[in-house]
């Protein structure tokens, strides 16, 4: 296992301590996550990359509090989590299933705010929704329904809804995997910019190594069967990054080389 020590100037926002999880019973029992431990600093953009089926979604569900590990625990700001929280929002790959088809774009974004305010806060919700729609370049489609939008626009709506929740931690599960290359690139840049502007701590999961390096302050590479940490590298490429220049940067290429070999099992 290769590990690069990162200098963390901020305290850990999230500590994953010895998390193990198995599915099935008897001979069918399979370890999906094996003794995983890592930390995420406050404001850090951490990317987790690994092959399909290595347990990425399972790990994200554990971080969200949707799945309970068999051993180990997840601490958020030093406190063990016991279930889901508004403080931790998940953006799923499948935007079409994440949005309510009978609600408009504005109505879907408002979902992230409902329950957080009292009944008389309608005007505050409206103002916040308008602001988020502006931020995500969705203002012109506020009254449209999800089916009337492209995949990229639908994914923007899901991201806006998660931001509406004002989470401290943004958990993203291959959010751009279903989008075409150009849309993916523009959303990558937007999420990188937003995360920084709003000081979010992000755990971003992908099977795309280049995406992980492009977005991350640090990349953790996972191996499969059972899911475990294979390598960890710091991405010391300044921000803002650029789709062309950054991907041609010698540091980017060196990391790509290093991680590609590991993920391919060399």
Ligand X SMILES: Nc1ncnc2c1ncn2[C@@H]1O[C@H](COP(=O)(O)OP(=O)(O)O)[C@@H](O)[C@H]1O
Which chain residues interact with ligand X by CB under 6 A? 23, 32, 50, 52-58
With CB under 5 to 8 Å by kind, the binding choice for 216 among Mg ion, ligand X, none is none
Instruction: Give the closest residue to 105 by CA, choosing from 57, 153, 42.
Output: 153
Spatial contact of 138 and 153, defined as CB atoms under 8 Å apart = yes
Closest contact distance (angstroms) between CB of 237 and ligand X is: 26
Q: Which is nearer to Mg ion, 32 or 113 (CB)?
A: 32
Residue 54 touches which member of ligand X, Mg ion, none, C-beta under 5-8 Å by kind = ligand X
Which residue lies nearer to ligand X by CB, 58 or 246? 58
Stretch that binds Mg ion, among 52-60, 61-69, 81-89, 144-152 (CB under 5 A): 52-60
**Candidates 23-31, 55-63, 108-116, 231-239; binding stretch for Mg ion (CB under 5 A):** 55-63
Q: Which two tokens stand for residue 59?
A: 């790990």
88 binds, among ligand X, Mg ion, none (CB under 5 to 8 A by kind): none
CB of 21 to ligand X, least distance (A): 9
Task: With contacts defined by CB under 5 A, name the span among 10-18, 50-58, 65-73, 80-88 that binds Mg ion.
Answer: 50-58
Region of residue 127 (left: phi > 0; alpha: psi -120 to 50; beta: else): alpha
Helical residues (DSSP H) of 49-114, grouped into ranges: 56-64, 95-98, 105-111
CB of 235 to ligand X, least distance (A): 21
Contact between 57 and Mg ion by CB under 5 A: the answer reads: yes
Burial class of residue 216, CB neighbours in 10 A (0-12, 13-18, 19+): buried
Residue 14 or residue 48: which is nearer to Mg ion going by CB? 48
Choose the one of ligand X, Mg ion, none that binds residue 158, judging by a C-beta under 5 to 8 angstroms depending on kind. none
Give the list of residues 6+ apart from residue 82 with CB closer than 8 angstroms, or none: 65
Least distance (Å) from ligand X to the CB of residue 58?
A: 3
Question: Is residue 65 left, alpha or beta, with left meaning phi > 0 and alpha meaning psi from -120 to 50?
Answer: left
* Contact range with Mg ion by CB under 5 A, out of 10-18, 48-56, 96-104, 180-188: 48-56
Cα(112)–Cα(171) distance, integer angstroms: 15
User: For the residues of 138-189, what is the DSSP string, one character each?
Assistant: -GGGTTS-GGGS-HHHHHHHHHHHHHHT--SEEEEESTTTTS-HHHHHHHHH
Residue 32 near which of Mg ion, ligand X, none (CB within 5-8 Å, type-dependent) = ligand X
Place of tokens 């347990």: 55
Residue 57 or 188 having the CB closest to Mg ion: 57
Nearer to Mg ion, 56 or 200 (CB): 56
- DSSP-assigned letter for residue 26: G
Task: For residue 49, count CB atoms less than 10 angstroms from its CB and return exposed for 0-12, middle for 13-18, buried for 19 or more.
Answer: buried
- 53's contact among Mg ion, ligand X, none, with CB below 5 to 8 A by partner kind, is ligand X
Which of 139, 224 has the CB closer to ligand X?
224
Give 128: exposed, middle or buried? Use CB within 10 Å, 0-12, 13-18, 19+. buried
Q: Interface residues with Mg ion (CB under 5 A)?
A: 56-57
């Amino acid at each position: 296992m290769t590990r690069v020590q990162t200098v963390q100037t901020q305290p850990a926002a999230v500590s994953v301590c010895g998390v193990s999880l198995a599915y099935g019973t008897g001979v069918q029992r399979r370890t999906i996550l094996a003794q995983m431990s890592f930390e995420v600093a406050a404001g850090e953009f951490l990317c987790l990359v690994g092959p399909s089926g290595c347990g990425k979604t399972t790990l994200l569900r554990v971080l969200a509090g949707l799945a309970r590990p068999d051993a180990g625990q997840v601490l958020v700001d030093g406190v063990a989590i016991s279930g889901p929280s508004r403080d931790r929002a998940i953006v799923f790959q499948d935007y079409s299933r994440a949005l309510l088809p009978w609600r408009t774009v504005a109505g879907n974004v408002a979902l992230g705010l409902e329950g957080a305010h009292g009944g008389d806060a309608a005007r505050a919700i409206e103002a916040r929704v308008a602001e988020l729609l502006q931020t995500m370049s969705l203002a012109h489609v506020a009254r449209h329904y999800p089916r009337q939008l492209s995949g990229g626009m639908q994914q923007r709506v899901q991201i806006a809804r998660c931001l509406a929740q004002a989470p401290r931690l943004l958990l993203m599960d291959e959010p751009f995997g279903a989008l075409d290359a150009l849309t993916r690139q523009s959303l990558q840049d937007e999420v990188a910019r937003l995360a920084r502007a709003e000081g979010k701590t992000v755990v971003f999961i992908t099977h795309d190594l280049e995406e992980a390096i492009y977005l991350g302050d640090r990349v953790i590479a996972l191996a499969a069967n059972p899911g475990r940490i294979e390598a960890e590298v710091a991405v010391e490429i300044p921000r803002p990054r650029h789709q062309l220049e950054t991907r041609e940067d010698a540091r980017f290429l060196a990391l790509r080389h290093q991680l590609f070999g590991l993920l391919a099992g060399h």
